[in-house]
Amino acid sequence: MDKLRILIPREQIAAKVAEIGARITADFLGESVVLIGVLKGATIFLADLARQIQLDATFDFIAVSSYGNSQQQSGEVKLVKDVDSSMEGRNVVLVEDILDTGVTLAYIRNLLQARQPRSMKIAALLDKVSRRTQPIQADYVGFQIPDEFVVGYGLDFAERYRNLPDICVLESYSDGA
Which residue from 7, 16, 36, 41 is in contact with ligand IMP, where contact means CB under 6 A? Answer: 41
Please report whether residue 97 would count as binding ligand IMP according to CB under 6 A: yes
Please report whether residue 35 would count as binding ligand IMP according to CB under 6 A: no
Dihedral angle of Cα 74, 147, 144, 129, to the nearest 10 degrees: -50
H-state helical runs in the chain: 10-27, 43-50, 103-113
Binding at 117: pick from ligand IMP, Mg ion, none (beta carbon under 5-8 Å per type): none
Measured distance CA(171)–CA(169) in Å, rounded: 6
Which residue from 35, 55, 92, 98 is in contact with ligand IMP, where contact means CB under 6 A? Answer: 98
What DSSP element (H or E) covers 172?
A: strand 167-172
List 48, 100, 127, 166, catalytic entry: 100
Among residue numbers 38 through 97, which ones bind Mg ion (CB under 5 A)?
Answer: 41
Number of C-beta neighbours around residue 73 at 10 A? 19
Judged by beta carbon, residue 24 or residue 99, the one nearer ligand IMP is 99
100 annotated active-site: yes
**Rg of the chain over CA atoms, in angstroms?**
16
Please report whether residue 100 would count as binding ligand IMP according to CB under 6 A: yes
Residues at the interface with Mg ion (CB under 5 A): 41
Active-site positions read 100
